[in-house]
């Protein structure tokens, strides 16, 4: 019995330390904080939205934004955190932890336009509730605006607004990170959320982040959720796999640009992307779209690899 107990004690874990937390800036972890069917998750979501919109959010529900599946293990598309407020307004929330090197401002305009179109009421008149495209960015927006919280609506050149139904909001974590160490009593709600998302996984800032969580119930609930998620090895394996691929991708890109080997970049990235995709498919945790996003491979290629693995060819 003693030998078995010793074996249990020696059991290894992927968690770096007993108190280490997952990175909330990673897309899948960010979504998990706000989309669980628990009071904690709902409280965190209301708190986050209240801080961003500058008004109390009393009631909100997660909108159905994923196509149904026949069996739990079936892969499916995945979208951002979509919510509907009690007054009919809608918001789409996404985390962008890594600069994708494209014009994010244009992308956001197109997304909010689609959101408004989907929210427009059918009938003989023009009627629709306001919509909000909320993006949490771990980089500066492509339009050069470095505000902590930038809010855009349609306006004329002299500053006159239209109906204000289209709302694009950027939360710039790079700007908010500069506030680390500021007394918690001097922070705004949105700054508290920005600092939590920026440093929750930084063990050097545990005491500071705990103080922030103690000052805001929604952040405290978010911290508890991330804490429970961090106890599961499968979540760490998923995070390490995605992070390793992204680091490899960046390293390959930098080395190739430096040496001027464009052909080597394309080949190296593709081979590494295929290898990473195979590993993620075998995990059976991520969806086809999530794997495609993490590896920059087309969904069709992921499905092809999935089929080959199922048939034992990989």
pLDDT confidence tier of residue 2, bands split at 50, 70 and 90: low
Token pair belonging to 257: 């640009």
Closest CA to 212 of 224, 222, 220, 201: 220
Give the model's pLDDT for residue 282: 83
pLDDT value at 64 more than 70: no
How do residues 226-256 score in pLDDT, each as one tens digit? 999 999 999 999 898 888 887 887 777 676 6
How do residues 281-298 score in pLDDT, each as one tens digit? 888 778 888 888 888 888
Stated pTM of the model: 0.73
Give the model's pLDDT for residue 76: 35
How do residues 140-153 score in pLDDT, each as one tens digit? 987 778 899 999 99
The overall average pLDDT reported for the chain is 83
pLDDT confidence tier of residue 106, bands split at 50, 70 and 90: confident
């Amino acid at each position: 019995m003693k030998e078995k107990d010793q074996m249990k004690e020696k059991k290894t874990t992927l968690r770096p330390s007993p108190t280490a937390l997952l990175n909330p800036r990673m897309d899948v972890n960010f979504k998990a904080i706000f989309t669980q069917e628990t009071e904690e998750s709902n409280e965190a979501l209301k708190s986050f939205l209240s801080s961003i919109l500058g008004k109390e959010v009393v009631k909100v529900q997660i909108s159905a934004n994923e196509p149904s599946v026949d069996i739990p293990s079936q892969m499916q598309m995945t979208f951002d955190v979509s919510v509907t407020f009690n007054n009919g307004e809608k918001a789409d929330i996404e985390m962008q932890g890594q600069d994708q090197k494209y014009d994010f401002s244009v992308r956001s305009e197109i997304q909010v336009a689609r959101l408004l179109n989907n929210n427009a009421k059918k009938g003989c008149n023009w009627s629709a509730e306001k919509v909000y495209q909320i993006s949490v960015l771990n980089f500066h927006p492509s339009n050069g605006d470095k505000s902590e919280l930038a809010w855009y609506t349609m306006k004329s050149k002299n500053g006159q607004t239209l109906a204000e139904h289209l709302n694009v909001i950027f939360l710039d974590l790079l700007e908010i990170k500069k506030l680390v160490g500021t007394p918690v009593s001097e922070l705004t709600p949105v700054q508290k959320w920005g600092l939590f998302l920026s440093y929750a996984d930084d063990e050097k800032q545990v005491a500071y982040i705990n103080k922030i969580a103690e000052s805001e119930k929604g952040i405290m609930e978010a911290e508890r959720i991330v804490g429970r998620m961090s106890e599961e090895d499968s979540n760490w394996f998923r995070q390490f796999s995605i992070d390793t691929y992204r680091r490899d991708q960046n390293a390959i890109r930098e080395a190739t640009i430096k040496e001027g080997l464009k052909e080597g970049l394309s080949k190296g990235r593709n081979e590494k992307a295929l290898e990473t995709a195979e590993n993620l498919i075998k995990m059976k945790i991520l969806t086809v779209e999530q794997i495609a996003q993490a590896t920059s491979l087309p969904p069709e290629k992921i499905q092809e690899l999935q089929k080959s693995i199922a048939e034992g060819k990989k």
